[in-house]
Amino acid sequence: MKNYYEELDIARGIAILGVITIHTSSLYLSRTYNYNLKIINILAQFSVPLFIFISGFLHKNIFVFEGDKERRYYIYKRFRRIIFPYLFFSIVYMFIRIIIENTPYLNSFLPIRYNSIEYIIQAILLVKNNPAGHLYFLPLLFLVFLVFTLLEILFKKKKTLYITCIIISSLAYAFWGNIYLSLNPLKGIGFYAMGYALRDSPFYNKLYNLNSYIVLFLSLFLIFIIGYLNISIALIKHIFAFGMQIFGALFIYQISLYLCKSQSKQIFSLTLSNIGKYSFDIYLLHEPYIVTVFFVVLIQLSLINVVLNQSILLVLGIIIPLLLSHLWLRRNRIFRQYLLGLD
């Protein structure tokens, strides 16, 4: 297994742009309905599954470690990578939210919720009521890792492992409703297995050499989107959502391979790659700024033009976290190590 896959930086860059698009469009849709924006929101739903796919791609088989001590340390490192940023930013965003709730004018946009210590602790520990809703992804990713590791121990044959994971995710989508992963690791396990299976398979080299797979995955992505939008039977609709997200993730991954292979020196590829290198920083830092700008500024302009609205939020959602990361987060050794997992 290689230690570095250049195409993953580009994939992360595209995925984080998709995540911010989901968050900015959801803000707009929470105030008024716009069909085109709703479609964009649905198209961007590949983003979170793609991050899980990438995590699976980089998964280390538990049996490569010699002895239980090494295995436990590997699991501990995965847990540490999740728990420190989750707790730190939960507390930071909780204080920001409390300040907003107690500030005249600003508190007219957000309901007062965090008015007791008991509720604050519950919101952080139970994830669901966390003021920074996007942080749910951190415990979700760790839970997906744990479930996959358990299945890896149970199923020694890799084909059986992969098929089991896909079936579990399909059933989870069918019976636990909606397109969102929420905090359900059973939904995410299929994407994780797909990433791990792809890296572990000879098919990986074929993907790298055949751009025709771009057309194949795009076609399947669009077919499942059309099915999701037009089928009214809930169970089938949710399975189409799963297929749409799987082939969306594979399509974006294949695009990333293409850009890495034949367009790596182009400004577009370099920009996506650099955004990808900071994707975790952007993920951790973007939420309060786009929310504040939306409610305090853009809403006062009667939501202005939709395209302009979303463009402003998307740009701010990238630039502000990059500046904060460069000027603060990555400059501090402790923050680099414990919040970003960088040595």
pLDDT tens profile 186-224 = 999 999 999 998 887 766 666 655 567 777 788 888 888
In the chain, % of residues over pLDDT 90: 26
Entry pTM = 0.90
* Residue 334 reports pLDDT greater than 70: yes
Read off φ and ψ for residue 103, nearest 5 degrees. -110, 120
Two tokens, residue 38: 């709703």
In whole angstroms, give the CA distance from residue 257 to residue 234.
35
Mean pLDDT computed over every residue of the chain:
82
* Residue 141 reports pLDDT greater than 70: yes
Mention every residue, 6+ apart, whose C-beta is less than 8 A from residue 12.
Answer: 51, 54, 275, 276, 277, 279
In whole angstroms, give the CA distance from residue 65 to residue 57.
18
Two tokens, residue 154: 């149970």
Q: pLDDT tens across 273-283, in order?
A: 999 999 999 99
Mean pLDDT of 47-60: 92
Distances (CA, A) of 1 to 33, 187, 225: 47, 26, 34
**Residue 222, number of CB atoms within 10 A of its CB:** 15
More confident residue, 256 or 28: 256
Q: State residue 304's pLDDT score.
A: 61
Q: pLDDT tens across 13-51, in order?
A: 999 999 999 988 887 787 777 888 888 888 899 999 999
Q: What is the DSSP string of 165-224?
A: HHHHHHHHHHHS-SS--TT-HHHHHHHHHHHHHHHHSTHHHHHHH-THHHHHHHHHHHHH
Two tokens, residue 101: 């709730």
Mean pLDDT of 299-305: 61
Amino acid code (one letter) for 324: L
Q: pLDDT tens across 217-236, in order?
A: 888 888 888 888 888 777 78
* Residue 142 reports pLDDT greater than 90: yes
* Residue 109 reports pLDDT greater than 60: no
Asked if 187 and 169 count as a contact pair (C-beta separation under 8 A), the reply is yes
